[in-house]
Amino acid sequence: MTSRVHPEQGFAHDIGAPKDRYATSKVVRVGSALETAIKWITEVPAALLLVAEVVLLLTNVTCRYVLHDPLIWGDELASILFIWLSMLGAVVALRRGEHMRLTMFVARMSPQSRAFAETLGNFIVMTFVLLLVRPATEWAMDEWIISTPALDLPNTVSAAAIPVAAGLMLVLAITRLLERSSLRDCVKALALVGGVAVALYLARQALAPLTAASLILFFAVGVVTIICLGVPIMVAFGVCTFAYLATVTGAPLSIVVSTMNQGMSSLILLAVPLFILLGALMEAMGLAEAMIRFLASLIGHKRGGLAYVLIGAMYLVSGISGSKVADMAALAPGLFPEMKKRGANEGDLVAMLSSSAAMSETIPPSLVLITIGSVTGVSIAALFTGGFMPAVVGAVALAAVVWFKSRGEILQGVQRASRAQIGRAFLVSLPALALPFVIRAAVVEGIATATEVATIGVAYTCAAGLLLYRRFDWSRLYPILVESASLSGAILIIIGCAAAMGWALTQSGFSAQLASLMMAAPGGALGFLAISAITFVVLGSFLEGIPAIVLFGPLLFPIARAMGISDVHYAMVVVFAMGLGLFAPPLGLGFYAACAVSKVDPSTAMRRVWPYLGALAVALIVIVLVPWVSTGFLQAK
């Protein structure tokens, strides 16, 4: 908006005359108007699409399980709506600045350097969408001759979502330049991006035969450099994949688009926006608060009691929201004020919050587990079954640290809840407590799919919140729908771009080389697990779980399988390791998210988080060495 443009950063700095300043402000107003238009033409349809998905899927579930007459066209329509929801959500996330990205390095730059980095980032986004628009349009037009089996609609109806969203992203990137960037920075950024493009074009003959050097240049140097500039991770994956294919291979760029669509459109992934919506509704309708109050009434009077409540509450709600930030935001306000009254250091509070979030990464219905099932073919029910015990090991490790640190806690004035108070809190929380267990049991026992269970969970939460807790503010509904669509789009487009990047890596022969290298590692299966754990700790610190899994899961899971390692055991190792990396400073994005939720300076918490992370590292070693922790419940079944 206009208020975001500082006089020293706008075009007026480069032009100077009053007449030119007037022209500049007019340009800024044009950019602001365009952004406002994009806001309404994306947010409202995305919110309506999310509601339509819930209604459609709930109707289909009712017809299938109650009337025993499923809608033949239901899944097909849900798939069409889903790709539009994903792409519009991605545009919303870009406008709101909610795409996954690494901002640590940009935040440490001077204001002038940061302004140039933002301008350069916008040019890179423009490059990505410009590379995407033409092949996406051609691919969508080619899909016209193919019709859907049930509705008899041309595939272009769903395929058009990608070029439409790409066009909106292009306009949005241009508006950001109009609103925020100086003419000098625009010229420098254009020259830099154009220079790189020309250099790649001139070097294409030399790069083509150099497979290893090309892979390092595009997928190591290129991706890491772009990510460190604070550009959304999905753009880094996408633009480097386009650049690699255009420079080194003769493959048509439409392959990137079709692979993106294939990676994003799986109906398994429809559980992603539904679980995100479910988690937001649980917090807004009071279900999460009811859980916390019951747990606090049980053990809140003991030394370290509220810390144990934090660990237990995170175990209960984890994964349902689809966002660790949402999980932490739901728990911190209900616990931190009372913990501070008892003398807890705010750095310790952040350390406990971030480490408990890391501990709970394997707890179903974790979106990372759903993603693993989608990209590797591993049973989601088996992953959900195996996810409970690794988190228990992590929770026990954290509880040991809490016990040690809270031995001297002063409990003066803290009263133990009476049996009547505990019983009342239990009755109030019972509808909320039942939901996580019902969701997980239904998927694990194979009663319903993750998508169906998420749909039922949304309906159940709305009924419980409106009829029992009666605290929902209807003015929050639209923001919840938009936020859910935005987060869903940010996650799903990363999956699409990472799928395209993974295809390029596979075609280059990298997969075969990686398999040979990993299988030759010393120590056999145990050595492979150890290397994988360390690798995913590093990957988790700057890529987050879903991008890392989509990119490396299809490459590494077959290797693990060939070495006799259970898919579920391997999944638990890599997911727990990624959680540890995600919340480990100085790179872990989750750690800084915990600091933001708690409104605490990261430097205050950084020196206090290491005992908790050390405990989780011990838990990871146990998970690696003892396969039963991951597969014991599977064997019992």
Same domain, 243 and 344: no
548 CB burial (10 A radius; 0-12, 13-18, 19+): buried
Mean pLDDT of the chain: 81
Grade residue 545 by pLDDT with cuts at 50, 70 and 90: low
| Separation CA 111–CA 13 (nearest Å) | 15
| Separation CA 505–CA 219 (nearest Å) | 9
Identify which has the larger pLDDT, 103 or 386.
Answer: 386
pLDDT of the residue at 16: 39
pLDDT of the residue at 515: 67
pLDDT of the residue at 444: 67
Same domain, 347 and 215: no
User: Which residues, other chains included, contact 203 with Cβ-Cβ below 8 Å and sequence gap of 6+?
Assistant: 247
**Partners of residue 458 on adjacent β-strands:** none
| Separation CA 226–CA 105 (nearest Å) | 11
End-to-end CA distance of the chain: give it in Å, rounded: 57
Q: Which residue has the tokens 């909106």?
A: 168
Same domain, 485 and 570: yes
Same domain, 241 and 336: no
| Separation CA 509–CA 358 (nearest Å) | 34
Same domain, 191 and 97: yes
| Separation CA 371–CA 499 (nearest Å) | 11
Same domain, 235 and 326: no
47 CB burial (10 A radius; 0-12, 13-18, 19+): buried
**Lowest-pLDDT range, 4-13, 259-268, 511-520, 585-594?**
4-13
Render 364-403 in DSSP notation, one character per residue.
Answer: SS-HHHHHHHHHH---HHHHHHHTHHHHHHHHHHHHHHHH
| Separation CA 465–CA 431 (nearest Å) | 9
Same domain, 394 and 260: no
pLDDT mean over 64-69: 81
pLDDT of the residue at 18: 43
pLDDT at 319 over 80: no
**Partners of residue 154 on adjacent β-strands:** 147
Same domain, 524 and 597: yes
pLDDT at 617 over 90: yes
**Are the C-beta atoms of residues 365 and 440 closer than 8 Å to each other?**
yes
Grade residue 13 by pLDDT with cuts at 50, 70 and 90: very low
**Are the C-beta atoms of residues 533 and 620 closer than 8 Å to each other?**
yes
Identify which has the larger pLDDT, 62 or 212.
Answer: 62
pLDDT mean over 351-368: 83
3-state secondary structure 310-373: HHHHHHHHCCCCCCHHHHHHHHHHHHHHHHHHCCCCHHHHHHHHHHHHHHHHHCCCCHHHHHHH
End-of-domain residue from the set 265, 283, 316: 265
pLDDT at 610 over 50: yes
pLDDT mean over 22-37: 72
520 CB burial (10 A radius; 0-12, 13-18, 19+): exposed
| Separation CA 303–CA 408 (nearest Å) | 8
Coil/strand/helix, residue 147: strand
**pLDDT tens, 144-184?**
988 888 888 898 999 999 999 999 999 998 888 887 888 88
**pLDDT tens, 253-311?**
888 888 888 878 777 778 778 878 887 888 788 887 787 788 878 776 777 777 888 88
| Separation CA 620–CA 614 (nearest Å) | 10
User: Which residues, other chains included, contact 43 with Cβ-Cβ below 8 Å and sequence gap of 6+?
Assistant: 92, 482, 485
Contacts of 71-80 spanning 24+ positions with Cβ under 8 A: 72/150, 73/150, 73/151, 75/267, 76/148, 76/149, 76/150, 76/151, 77/151, 78/53, 78/267, 78/270, 79/158, 79/265, 79/267, 79/270, 80/148, 80/153, 80/157, 80/158
Render 272-295 in DSSP notation, one character per residue.
Answer: HHHHHHHHHHHHHTTHHHHHHHHH
What letter would DSSP give residue 413? T
pLDDT mean over 373-396: 87
Show the tokens assigned to 455.
């749909």
Determine the Cα angle at 50 with ends 87 and 382, to 5°: 85
pLDDT at 198 over 50: yes
End-of-domain residue from the set 242, 265, 288: 265
| Separation CA 236–CA 128 (nearest Å) | 9
Identify which has the larger pLDDT, 76 or 12.
Answer: 76
Q: Which domain holds residue 371?
A: 269-636
- Residue 419 has phi, psi (to 5 degrees) of -60, -35
Grade residue 473 by pLDDT with cuts at 50, 70 and 90: confident
What letter would DSSP give residue 302? S
Show the tokens assigned to 298.
């049980």
Q: How many domains does the chain have?
A: 2
User: Which residues, other chains included, contact 133 with Cβ-Cβ below 8 Å and sequence gap of 6+?
Assistant: 163, 166, 167, 170
pLDDT above 70 covers what percent of the chain? 88
Same domain, 376 and 446: yes
Same domain, 258 and 297: no
pLDDT at 195 over 90: yes
Identify which has the larger pLDDT, 470 or 95.
Answer: 95
pLDDT mean over 377-386: 86
What percent of the residues of the chain are helix, what percent strand, and what percent coil, each to the nearest 5?
A: 80, 0, 20
pLDDT at 517 over 80: no
pLDDT of the residue at 4: 33
pLDDT of the residue at 190: 92
Same domain, 173 and 280: no
Same domain, 371 and 260: no
**Are the C-beta atoms of residues 525 and 569 closer than 8 Å to each other?**
no
| Separation CA 97–CA 235 (nearest Å) | 13
What letter would DSSP give residue 154? B
516 CB burial (10 A radius; 0-12, 13-18, 19+): exposed
End-of-domain residue from the set 218, 247, 265: 265
